Every structure is written in C-alpha cells, then in structure tokens.
Amino acid sequence: MTDWTQQTEQARTWFETLRDRICAEFEAIEREADSDAAFEYTPWQREEDGNPDPGGGTRGLMKGKVFEKVGVNVSTVKGSFSPEFAGQVNGASTDNPGFTATGISLVAHMANPHVPAVHMNTRFLTTQAAWFGGGADLNPPIAYAEDTEDFHARLRAACAAHNPTYYERFKKWADDYFYIPHRQVHRGVGGIFYDHLECENEAAFERHFAFTRDVGETFLDIFPRLVRRRMESEFTPADKLTQLEWRGRYAEFNLVYDRGTLFGLKTGGNIDAILMSLPPEAVWS
C-alpha cells in the first residue's frame, strides 16, 4: 500500500492557503459595502476511541452586510470507518476501514436575493485507494442567465485545460447530483462535480492535484465578480420571500441527500462545521 502522507500534507497546505485567500477576498467585499465583518475561526479536534491522532480542522464563519452567512472550513482527519459505513466508501472495507481525508468546504448565503448563493469543496481522500473529488455549483434564488453563463464558462475553461471530456462529464454529474427528487427540481443552476479521480501513482496525483487547484482558482476568480455585480441591486419583499423559500429547498437537499453531510456525520466531524451549509433563515410555505 502506498504511503500518501506527503501528498496529504501537500493537499492540506493548499486547501489552507486557498481558505485564507478566499476569506480575505470576501472580507474585502464587505469593506466595499462599508462593513467591518470578518471571519471568526474556531479550531476543533476530532475524537475517535483508540486513535491518539484523529486530526481536526478549523471552522471559519462570517456574518456580514453582503454575506449573510458564509462558512469556509478546512479539515484533515484520519482514522477508521465504522463497519456499516466502510463498505460505502471507495477503497474501504470492513477488513481495511482506515482512511485519511483533507479538504476545504465552502457555502455562502447572501443577504441580497439577487446575489447567488454558492457551494464549493475540494478534497483528497485515501483508503486502500487515493483520489480527489470536489466541484463548485451556483445556487441563485433569482437566476440571471448572464451569471450562469459566466460561471459555467470559467469552469468550462478550467476543465478544458486538463481534459477535453471533463466539463461535459462533470457538469452532468453536478446536474444529476444536485437534484431534489421529492421536489423534482434542481438545487441551483449547476456547475461541476467530480469524485474518484484515482491516484494510481505519483504522476496521477500531480495531474489530479493540478486540476483540483484550478477548480479552487476558478472559484476565487469568478464568484467574487458575480457578488460585486449584484450586491447593490434593489430588491423587494417578494424577492426576499423567493430567497427564503428557495433556502428551504437548499436545506432539504443538504439534510436528506448530501453525501458530504453524511460523510462528516459518519466520521465524527464537527457538527457545527458540517451543518454550516444550512441557511441562517428559511421558510416553508
């Protein structure tokens, strides 16, 4: 079995650096809106019986004038899956339930309903296998074709730089994944979602790590531009109600279907960090 310790550390360092850059950019947007909101960082330590070094992470949270609630979490954990969960994870089994995982996860809920909410995460996991996964998707309560096209155009370009098949494959994966069956609606206007980019060797690790870094860079480039485009838009009480009703759908997906939520709960993650994706306010009619 390959020892992926060094590669896990490389990925962890990148995710933490990306976190710092994203948080700085979001705080800069708050300053442009005459807000002094800033991220508060809360470290947490994972616990697992019989594991002296289970890892942990840091939850970053900001509530401001533009970002009503935004969480940016980075975690690096290791241990063993429970027997009932091990068989559901790529490369793990009841005989070999060990894992390591490092990643960044971000969800932003915006004060202005014309500004799209967004989700982004990238991660590196090892079991008996090693792979990258992640993606980014746009979730506007009030959709604008211009914003959707610009978001997808940047993701399309990032994918094309690595593999001509990536964008169509990963866009469809996002469309299929971010769907609420009981409502028969999509959670938003999509993006890309990928998983199990297998690292059979060091060359594969470098290739997939480069793509994963570009996903992060793409997000950092395009999403702040969309925020600045819409954050001063006038909105009505009806617009706000539309946003709150849409947030209810978002909460339903994350609590019922989201694999990241399940993974965090099944591996002893920090509850507040796992559920930071939930909106600060929502309504159900």
Whether 64 is in a domain gets the answer yes
Task: Name the residue range of residue 126's domain.
Answer: 5-277
> Which residue among 119, 152, 186, 208 is the active-site one?
119
3-state secondary structure of 260: helix
Whether 176 is in a domain gets the answer yes
Whether 66 is in a domain gets the answer yes
Whether 178 is in a domain gets the answer yes
Whether 284 is in a domain gets the answer no
Mark 111-141 as b/e (b = at least 16 C-beta within 10 Å): bbbbbbbbbbbbbbbbbebbbbbbbbbbbbb
Count the domains in the chain: 1
Q: For position 25, which CATH number holds?
A: 3.40.1500.10
Whether 282 is in a domain gets the answer no
Residue 58 pLDDT: 95
Residue 235 pLDDT: 98
Which of 179, 158, 177, 132 lies closest to 222 in space, CA to CA?
Answer: 158
Whether 285 is in a domain gets the answer no
User: What torsion, rounded to 10 degrees, do the Cα atoms 244, 247, 251, 253 define?
Assistant: 140
Whether 202 is in a domain gets the answer yes
Catalytic residue list contains 208:
no
pTM: 0.94
Mean pLDDT by 10-residue block, N- to C-terminus, for the chain (285 residues)? 89 98 98 98 91 92 98 94 77 81 97 98 94 98 98 98 98 97 96 96 97 98 98 98 97 93 85 91 92
